[in-house]
Structure 1
Amino acid sequence: MKHIEQGVGLMSAPRDFIRDLNADNFSAGLVAGIFGLSAGIIHISAGLAAGLSQEFTLIWVISYLMINGLFGLFMPAYYRLPLPMANSIPGALLFASIIPVVGLEAALGATLIAGAISLVVGLAGWMGIVMRLIPMPIVMGMVAGILLKFGTNMVMPLQNAMLPAVVMILAFFFSARFLRRVPPLVVAMLVGIAYMAFSGADFSSVEFSVKFPEVIMPTFTLEAFLAYGLPLALILVGMETPAGVGLVKGMGFKSAPANAITAVGGLGTMVSAFFNLHSTCIAAPMTGICSGPEAGSHDKRWVAAVIVGIIFIVAAPFYGFVFSLIEAMPSYFIAIIAGLALLRVIGSAMHMTFSGKHEVGAMFSFLIAVSGLQILGIGASFWALVLGAGISMLVEFRDFDFSSKREATKEVKTA
């Protein structure tokens, strides 16, 4: 445990939460929470596309919200940092695709092993080495490439839903300019809801339901581990943690507990394996929302991440109802709100990508992430880091800092 970074603690967290809660971090947490709820649509779509039942996919999402919501309360509260927890979307796509091949229990067994690998990496303090091999400009190139789609999705409604898009975007910027005491995201959301009410959005298909996570016992096969467990472990250690740490540092925080994020994610993934869920890790897009300028002052942004955890836990049993509600909303609503919340985060990530060392590697990382390519069934986010770092080592080796073993050890302990 000596490599796990020390945090502020949990004893005073409830009191500090009430003290630090304000309109800015509340609105950022609400937006991030809604975004996280809407991400369940990806799981359901991937599950149905793979031939899995709607009942299975619904339990999958409920477990995602409940388990990651619980870990998402602990991490930001203990470290007083915006560290919302969710699950890996690339991992979700792998999980859905491998179940018809190896079976659910074997897939969950591979999940358990992947979580154990992540836990060992975090406890051993090896994330400092990983972060040295994948420098910040390359990480932020991947982050910028992944988040860029949220920016483009924000402006795409101008093509087919111009009036609500213009009204919501202008409401955001006008409120930022003239209503400084009211968070712009709240204004944009209220304007969007008002427009839906005025335009007569159809919510007649919304249905109420209650479900809870179910226990499933994993089994172990070599085929499942090689086809899914090992890639998932690489994604958790080599992509999810670096992306989350990069966002937190990119938003002006001096440090982020890389080893703890990896270890807790590994532990959460091991727990997840018994509840029909494929992973627990830091949530990059939601980290961007919770750690960005829209969440208010730096020392209070952690509250936004705690709010995400609360939303997940409360919404989990009722996700069938939440899902039908999200489906009834016009697609432009969440796209615009998420894009506005991430606007300045995207700008900061782009700036960090192209304004320092590792320019070639960072550019390749950005382009690969934007492309959305898949190699060996693994998504672009992972390959953006691997290939970006590899190309940078080839043509920009002097930009890497491998000065001494002592410094590397120090980096591991303080990352």
Structure 2
Amino acid sequence: MPLEKPALPLPRRPWSDFGPLYFSNAIVAFLFSSTGPLAIVLSVGSRGGLPEADIASWIFAAFLINALITIVFSVLYRQPLVFLWSIPGTVLVGPALTHMTFPEVIGAFLATGLLMLVLGLTGFVRRAMEMVPMPIVMAMVAGVFLRFGVDLIFAFRDGFLIAAPMTAAFVLLSIVPVVARLLPPLIGALIAGAAAVWWLGNFNAPAGAIFSFAEPKLFVPQFSWAAMVELVVPLAITVLVVQNGQGIGVLTANGHRPPTNAIAFGCGVGSILTGLFGAVSTCLTGPVNAILSGSGDKPRQYSSAIFFGLVSIAFGLMAPFFTRLLLATPPAFIATLAGLAMLPILQTAFQASFREKFSFGALVCFLVTVADVPIFLIGAPFWGLVFGVAASWLRERADFGPSGTLRQTAADSQEPTAR
């Protein structure tokens, strides 16, 4: 079987791997995933004419089912492997909802899941991803994550009285290691931001009842050639290359060895299960795994993914309540929290991209990704990889090794990044 073997045997005392740092990382990552990305789902669903019940079912599956997959994979492979939904895939689905029925779109979700499952089982995904030099992959990651750093600056412009105390708390805790071990900097920023929001009275509570439980709907898919042609291949490319490429690149840069084929298999299974409830394709998330693998002891970081999964299960069960609650928070609060969490990740991505080999290809990839111009309904990060590799092949062919093969290059470039 081409699927990577799990890290057996299972730990005898798994609770010893848990701790406050890993719990705080999970909470920050969860706050990130349940605000901005969730707002995209709400926006796409509303513009596509989906009723509130269908959108709630989408959110339920996107969190709860993917959380179960996250917990299983993180325990088996002993590293943070958080699965959520594809944000570019959600954006891709938006135009389709204007001329297709939701059951047709769901049929495309299931077909995409089956395609990814087969590609994972055959081992093709790992071979394909080994052909892309890691500096170029990390340049794509830097281009995608750059907006979070920029949004941090904009948060000072749009909500200075919220962003300033949050950043001050983060910096002060970061420069005092003894205190940081007791109160992680991101949690300190979270507390300072919550206090600022309360003091300013900027919590915009929604009208009507806030609390309610999710009522998931099981959809009957419809398979049409129009939906297959328009959605299946772009969704599969978005998940396997763009989204999973970010997650795998981040985890590799932080010293992990992500099971590429198993991840593709998990995305396929997740896409089929969540698709039945109306959710877009499952992917290995980049930003969340970046937060979880950015601090703490590497062998213990998988515990933060378990924390994340447990919180996500609760969120999925009470999706309407938490959605209304979190969206009432000022945008500057979330932008600052996400930006502070991404600063060390951005630093790592830039260092891995422009340190030695493939620097020109990495630059081209970064610029194309930041430009964010889709081609043939496929997002800019994918084209960043394509044009980045092409640029290195034309101008930096010596970096590909004596044989000139990309496979050898991938191995060469991943090893120093992992260290």
Query: When the two structures are superposed, what TM-score results if normalisation uses the length of structure 1?
Result: 0.92
Do the aligned residues in 1 keep the contact of 2:142 with 2:349 (CA within 8 Å)?
yes
| 1:269, distance to aligned residue in structure 2 (A) | 0.9
- 1:150-189 aligned within 5 A: 150-178=148-176, 179-181=179-181, 182-189=183-190
Moved more, 19-28 or 198-207: 198-207
What is the aligned counterpart of 1:106 among 98, 104, 107? 104
- Between the aligned partners of 2:229 and 2:394, the Cα distance in structure 1 is 29
Change (3 A) 1:401 1:243: farther
Corresponding residue for residue 22 of structure 1: 19
Matched, 1:93 2:94: no
What is the aligned counterpart of 1:226 among 216, 226, 229? 229
- 1:255-266 aligned within 5 A: 255-266=257-268
| 1:377, distance to aligned residue in structure 2 (A) | 2.1
Change (3 A) 1:274 1:9: farther
Q: Secondary structure at the match of 2:141?
A: helix
- Between the aligned partners of 1:372 and 1:90, the Cα distance in structure 2 is 11
Corresponding residue for residue 32 of structure 2: 35
Question: What whole-Å deviation, never above 9, does each CA across 1:319-358 have from its counterpart, x for those lacking one?
Answer: 1111111121111111111111111011000111111222
Q: Percent identity?
A: 31
Matched, 1:333 2:333: yes
- Between the aligned partners of 1:9 and 1:26, the Cα distance in structure 2 is 24
- Between the aligned partners of 2:401 and 2:278, the Cα distance in structure 1 is 41
What is the aligned counterpart of 2:246 among 239, 243, 268? 243
Corresponding residue for residue 369 of structure 1: 369
Change (3 A) 1:277 1:401: farther
- Between the aligned partners of 1:53 and 1:102, the Cα distance in structure 2 is 15
- 1:363-402 aligned within 5 A: 363-400=363-400
Corresponding residue for residue 271 of structure 2: 269
Question: What whole-Å deviation, never above 9, does each CA across 1:1-30 have from its counterpart, x for those lacking one?
Answer: x211112248548x41x2111111111111
What residue identity is the alignment partner of 1:6? K
Question: What whole-Å deviation, never above 9, does each CA across 1:265-308 have from its counterpart, x for those lacking one?
Answer: 11111222211112111111101111112xx1111111111111
Unaligned 5+ segments in structure 1 are: none
- 1:185-196 aligned within 5 A: 185-196=186-197
Q: Secondary structure at the match of 2:180?
A: coil
Matched, 1:201 2:202: yes
Change (3 A) 1:346 1:404: closer
Change (3 A) 1:250 1:102: same
What residue identity is the alignment partner of 1:87? W
Matched, 1:297 2:301: no
Do the aligned residues in 1 keep the contact of 2:25 with 2:292 (CA within 8 Å)?
yes
CA RMSD of aligned residues (A): 2.2
- Between the aligned partners of 2:314 and 2:9, the Cα distance in structure 1 is 21
Do the aligned residues in 2 keep the contact of 1:211 with 1:317 (CA within 8 Å)?
yes
Corresponding residue for residue 126 of structure 1: 124
| 1:230, distance to aligned residue in structure 2 (A) | 1.1
Moved more, 137-146 or 159-168: 159-168
Do the aligned residues in 1 keep the contact of 2:137 with 2:249 (CA within 8 Å)?
yes
Do the aligned residues in 1 keep the contact of 2:140 with 2:384 (CA within 8 Å)?
yes
Corresponding residue for residue 5 of structure 1: 4
Change (3 A) 1:299 1:215: same
Question: What whole-Å deviation, never above 9, does each CA across 1:361-382 have from its counterpart, x for those lacking one?
Answer: 2111111111121222222122
Change (3 A) 1:129 1:273: same
Corresponding residue for residue 307 of structure 1: 307
Do the aligned residues in 2 keep the contact of 1:44 with 1:54 (CA within 8 Å)?
no
Q: Secondary structure at the match of 1:180?
A: helix
Query: When the two structures are superposed, what TM-score results if normalisation uses the length of structure 2?
Result: 0.91
Unaligned 5+ segments in structure 2 are: none
| 1:401, distance to aligned residue in structure 2 (A) | 5.2
What is the aligned counterpart of 1:52 among 43, 50, 67? 50
| 1:52, distance to aligned residue in structure 2 (A) | 3.0
